[in-house]
Amino acid sequence: MILVTGGAGFIGANFVLEWLEHNDEPVLNLDKLTYAGNLHNLDSLQGDARHIFVRGDIGDRALLERLLAEHQPRAVINFAAESHVDRSIHGPEDFIQTNVVGTFRLLEAVRHYWSALPATQKEAFRFLHVSTDEVYGTLTPDEPAFAETHRVEPNSPYSASKAASDHLVRAWHHTYGLPVLTTNCSNNYGPLHFPEKLIPLVIVNALAGKPLPIYGDGRQIRDWLYVRDHCRAIARVLQAGRLGEVYNIGGWNEKANIDIVKTVCALLDELRPRSDGKSYAEQITFVQDRPGHDRRYAIDARKIERELGWKPAETFDTGIRKTVQWYLEHPEWVANVQSGAYRDWVAKQYGAVQ
């Protein structure tokens, strides 16, 4: 069995679904079910004995120790995190509590569990920590992409909290010998993405006839990674990654935000045209940039390809088409996540254009 934390969120849920599509090994799924944790993401696993869900917090040391003792997982994969830059600007304390304190308590519970394992199980055990390229800071247009050796220079409360958690994971390996692996991924996109992030927000707002809010000039550049490609990369790192190493996972797709939005609009024009015959691009609205907005992220993913043979299966063109089609085919999922709390958040963040 493996223990997955944060397995009802966007990336975590996709990982659980991907894992159980290709493995019979059971998953113990621990998720706090905050605003972005949605059990409906896992509806297809109802009645599947391979999936055991527990609602709980990685900061709850007693719960962690009980689950580890009871289920004896061979690996822990930590997706649990507060993960939205804008939210971290408005309320950084939750990010410190979950991403720093929570990771610390998870590491300590896992360390005590691992220390008591029989020698063969102890040697085979792995702790895989899922992180982000945002810990590296920002790049100028002509700088080389982030490699694993790039200096850590976080610029937002979110990225600072993730950098802190990465440092804790590294320290628990070097100090205590805990067999850890860390992955730093670029911007994920795909099915089940909570509609506060750029791509799902654009799809949902476009279909609702609302403005499509673009920060600043829209020329902020990100590397885009289809979520199932990311999940397969994590499984590969878990299987064969070198202990204590960091692996950057990227899609080799650097795109400006405005170009992403225009691509989504063009796909919607094709797949679900507006009744008035106009393009959804007419709904694009530029709003004030967020504080400290990083201009460019880019991932150098050559290490994971060289050492582990992984590279993304999806191009951006194939991945974004699959993503838009999924949202068009799952309006009930979108309606379910658009709770009052979500609407309040969107009104707060993009109030000027709602």
pLDDT digits (tens, 9 = 90+) for 290-310: 888 889 999 999 999 999 999
Encode burial over 301-313: b for 16+ CB neighbours within 10 A, e otherwise. bebbeeebebebe
pLDDT at residue 343, as a whole number: 45
pLDDT for residue 34: 82
Going by pLDDT thresholds of 50, 70 and 90, the confidence category of residue 349 is: low
User: How many structural domains compose the chain?
Assistant: 1
Its domain, for residue 85, covers 2-190+226-252+293-314
CA distance 331 to 329: 6
**What DSSP string describes 152-180?**
P---SHHHHHHHHHHHHHHHHHHHH---E
User: Active site residue: 133, 166, 254, 294, which one?
Assistant: 133
Active-site residue, from 113, 158, 189, 297? 158
pLDDT in tens, 35-88: 778 888 999 999 999 999 999 999 999 999 999 999 999 999 999 998 767 777
- Tell me if 74 is assigned to some domain: yes
Residue 342 has pLDDT above 60, yes or no: no
Q: Any catalytic annotation for residue 133?
A: yes
Note whether residue 22 is domain-resident.
yes
- 239 within some domain: yes
Residue 134 annotated as catalytic = yes
Q: What is the pLDDT of residue 83?
A: 72
pTM of the predicted model as reported, rounded to 2 decimal places: 0.93
125 in a domain, yes or no? Answer: yes
Other C-beta atoms lying within 10 Å of the C-beta of residue 167: 14
Pick the catalytic residue: 18, 82, 134, 300? 134
Q: Does residue 198 belong to any structural domain of this protein?
A: no
User: Is position 219 within any domain?
Assistant: no
Which of 66-75, 255-264, 282-291, 337-346 is predicted least confidently?
Answer: 337-346
CATH of the domain at 243: 3.40.50.720
Domain membership of residue 172 (yes or no) is yes
**Is the residue at 59 inside a domain?**
yes
The residue among 110, 118, 80, 94 whose CA lies nearest residue 179 is 110
